């Protein structure tokens, strides 16, 4: 499970459930956490106070912070301070510290073997990759084939985005790609290698498909995407065959007050009244 801020009521509800949790640090809090004492207080109040009753897995320090964002300068110092505060609380070996990024960091994603962050992104992400490699933490990546598809429908097939393509869609050297999800993940693996992070793993910290709002956003397509994704993630990618991918679905509920795009309100597995939107998806 992933939550995007340390909501105290949610953390209380998770006590004793053994649900593994990604706990987010909101982008607006990053600057304050560049002060070690503030980071220590944050860890004490939001992690130590609930551990081990709450099963924290990762701390996501910032979500989709862009290199051009003024907050980007705070991400790595905040990560380092959170890491040090966890170590001081004897939790450093149990809880990994990372940040969550989007595919916009990739300057090149096709073919996946040529994946790279590019000059602008590299200045921001390469020191973070070095930190992750040193601490043994994964990079958290938000992977959205839907947005890639609607951004380039002339060149990206819908069946490629939905895991329904019959056979190989394109060949990248010796690697055959049948779905867009794998292509995006492997492009990130290639970019990590180029940035000195060959040993850094990827955790898919968000992925989903909207059920209404724009082209291809339908209940049938969303159901197909989720069902096929769940069936696929244990298989790995062409670059990492047989290596199950830890993957988090976005989102639990529709967000009827979100925007501005209509699709942003319809990524939930459940409607706001807690009714399931899809009947043919099994999580077991």
Cα distance between residue 63 and residue 272, in whole Å? 23
What three-state secondary structure class fits 248? strand
How do beta strands 170-172 and 175-177 pair?
antiparallel
| Catalytic pick among 64, 193, 201, 255 | 64
Q: What is the DSSP letter of 32?
A: G
Report yes or no: 1 and 22 within 8 Å, Cβ to Cβ: yes
Report yes or no: 52 and 65 within 8 Å, Cβ to Cβ: no
Burial class (CB in 10 A: 0-12, 13-18, 19+), 23: buried
Q: What is the DSSP letter of 173?
A: T
* 64: annotated active-site residue: yes
With residue 37 as reference, give the H or E element that holds it: helix 36-43
What three-state secondary structure class fits 183? helix
Look at the block and give the residue holding tokens 């966890």. 86
* 94: annotated active-site residue: no
Length of the chain: 284
Report the catalytic residues. Answer: 64, 206
């Amino acid at each position: 499970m992933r939550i995007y801020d340390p909501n105290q009521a949610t953390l209380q509800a998770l006590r004793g459930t053994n649900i593994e949790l990604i706990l987010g640090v909101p982008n607006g809090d990053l600057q304050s956490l560049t002060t070690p004492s503030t980071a220590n207080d944050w860890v004490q109040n939001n992690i130590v106070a609930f551990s081990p009753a709450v099963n924290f897995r990762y701390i996501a320090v910032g979500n989709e912070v862009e290199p051009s964002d003024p907050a980007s300068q705070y991400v790595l110092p905040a990560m380092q301070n959170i890491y040090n505060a966890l170590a001081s609380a004897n939790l450093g070996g149990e809880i990994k510290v990372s940040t969550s990024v989007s595919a916009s960091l990739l300057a090149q994603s096709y073919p996946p073997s040529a994946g790279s962050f590019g000059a602008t992104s590299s200045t921001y992400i390469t020191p973070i990759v070095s930190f992750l490699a040193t601490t043994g933490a994964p990079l958290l990546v938000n992977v959205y084939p839907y947005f890639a598809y609607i951004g380039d429908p002339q060149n990206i097939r819908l069946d490629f985005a939905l895991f329904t393509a019959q056979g190989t869609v394109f060949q990248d050297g010796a690697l055959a790609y049948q779905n867009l999800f794998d292509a995006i993940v492997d492009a990130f693996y290639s970019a990590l290698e180029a940035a000195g992070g060959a040993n850094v793993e990827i955790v898919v910290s968000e992925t989903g498909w909207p059920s209404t709002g724009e082209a291809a956003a339908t209940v049938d397509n969303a159901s197909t995407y989720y069902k096929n994704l769940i069936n696929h993630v244990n298989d790995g990618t062409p670059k990492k065959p047989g290596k199950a991918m830890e993957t988090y679905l976005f989102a639990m509920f529709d967000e009827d007050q979100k925007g501005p795009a209509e699709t942003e309100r319809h990524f939930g597995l459940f409607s706001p009244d807690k009714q399931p939107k899809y009947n043919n998806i099994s999580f077991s």
